[in-house]
Each structure stands twice: as structure tokens, then as C-alpha cells.
A = this chain, B = another copy of it.
């Protein structure tokens, strides 16, 4: 597998140098692997810190900025960052109003963020944590006890980030983050496996003419493998899998997320089918986002995340955000 890299060992550091050059509005500590919004700490504001293995860009580093994350800690590809990065990030962004860790439910991330939260509290920082576990495809996987955290992470970071930006206190920001996670579910489909720089060959074997339903964001196994399906058929399976678990009574936010290598032309076409299924099932759509947001390196495929919202969550979703990966104004 050919890659646009120097050597596997420097992929993350090289990317951080490139981010630093492209985004002077961020403070990128390449050596310690922490990305911080340059104006942090913001007086009186709760800070949001997330992180996880690299390879899912723009998540998380691309979501640092006003209205979303205060800092992000990138690990090696598909590998949790270490507690030292997280404590450093928390200390850099804490204004005294406290820090919320947003943690995707993978065993390594959970352990490391737990340890980091204890260490940060020892340093006198008020800490809270929220676990993201939205993937309905499988319970327990190669990397997870319970459900995996995937696309809903974007909704949690954006909506809780807006609440923090307008000055809400830590307990309230934490409660909103938890509400968003509880209201969101995802289901993903892979048409091809991804290739990590260190391994250099696909993480699993997906034969021509087959797809994997319920895929995770590291190429870990899903629910089942089937013969190739149309966009229409995939949308039926993915949306119904989410709705079976979520049963929304309110309007939803929709994320049609590319896994990395699927062209935007196809993602928009897939969105048309996702919207068709939602209409057929009587689910009202408040907002839709289509693009590559929570990726899995060069994997082809897509995931659908729905998040049931109320007026307050919609207001926070619509609030201005200014990050490399997600940006809109008033």
C-alpha cells in the first residue's frame, strides 16, 4: 500500500508540524503532542479536552477552536494517547472553571483518561468526564467493552463546546454532553479495509464483491459480511439499525460520515437514500452534515449517526464554531 509519508515512525509528528503551519490560530506542541486553541485558557470558561488514536482526522485535533474543543491529544495511529498528554492539555486550558474530558469508549482511552483525570484533580483542577458510546453495531469488540464511540463524538464536542463557549458551568456542560451521547446512535459500513502506516497492508481482508456491515473506525469486525449492496439497500440497513435502538420522537441531527476514501459525490448520493428512509419512517430531520469527519485512514465506506434533539440542543448546534474541521458563523 502506497502512502504519502516519510516513514511510519514520524507520521503523527509530521502531521502536527503540518497542522501548525496551516493553522496559526492553534498552538501545536509537536513534541508533547497537544493541540490547544491559542487564546486558552479563556477566563471563566469550562474547557473541553478530547483525544484518541490518530487516523480519524479531522477528529479530534481538527475540532479545536472557539465553540468546540479547547485542546486535543493525538496518540499514535489507532493507539490511545497517554495520561501525560491529557494532564498537560487540561493544565493548559483550565481557567479555573474546570475541564471536561470527552472520551470515546475504547479500553485504552478510558483507562488513560481516568488516570489523567485523577492526576489533574490532584493538581487542583475540577474535572468531569463523559464517555461516548454510540455505535449500535456490536457490544464489546476488539478494543472495547460495551459500545464503541464513533460519529456521535462530533455532536458531543460541538454541542457541549457551544454550551461551554457561552459560559455554562461544568456540571451543566457535562450534563449536556451526556444528554447528546444518550440521544445519539451510529452504524457504519466498510467497502474496503484501512491500512495503517506501521503495518503497511490492509487491517483485514474484504474480498471483491463483499462489504462489512457494522464496521468500527479501526477496521475491527462488524456485525456481518454480505455480498455487495446498493446505496439504497445500505441506507435501509444502517438507518433501521440506528432507529431500532433510538426510536426518536423529536427531530434529529443527521451525520452522513465518510470513512476516508469514499468520494463526496458518493456520500451525497448516500445521503439522499438516508433521507428517504428517514422520511419513510416518519423521522423529522432538523440538520444534516455530509462529509469526512470521523474517518478511518483510507477506508472506503460511510456511517450514519442520528442525534435526537430538543430546541436547546438545536440552538447549541447552530451556534458559531470556528475550527479547521467544522466552521460556521452566525
Write the residues of chain A forming the contact surface with B, with a CB cutoff of 8 angstroms. 2-7, 10-12, 14-19, 21-22, 54-55, 57-58, 62, 77, 189, 191-192, 208-209, 211, 228, 230-232, 234, 256, 260-273, 275, 285, 288-290, 292, 295, 297-298, 300-302, 320, 322, 327-330
Contacts and interface: CB of A to CB of B under 8 A. Distances in A.
A255 to B, nearest CB: 10
A269 B2 contact: no
A327 B323 CA distance: 11
A15 B266 CA distance: 7
A263 B192 contact: no
A6 B6 CA distance: 38
Given A231-B14, A265-B57, A298-B262, A3 B191 contact: yes
B261 A298 contact: yes
Contacts of A329: 320, 322, 327, 329-330
A112 B168 CA distance: 56
A235 to B, nearest CB: 10
Main secondary structure of the interface of A (DSSP, over half): mixed
Given A22-B289, A265-B297, A17 B302 contact: no
Contacts of A211: 2
A290 B5 CA distance: 15
Given A2-B208, A4-B301, A208-B2, A18 B322 contact: no
Contacts of A21: 271-272, 275, 285, 288
Contacts of A264: 57-58, 62, 292, 295
B231 A262 contact: no
Contacts of A231: 4-6, 14
A239 to B, nearest CB: 13
A232 B7 CA distance: 10
B295 A298 contact: no
Contact of A18 (B262, B269, B297): B269
Contacts of A260: 261, 263
A37 B99 CA distance: 41
A266 B3 CA distance: 8
Contacts of A261: 260-261, 298, 300
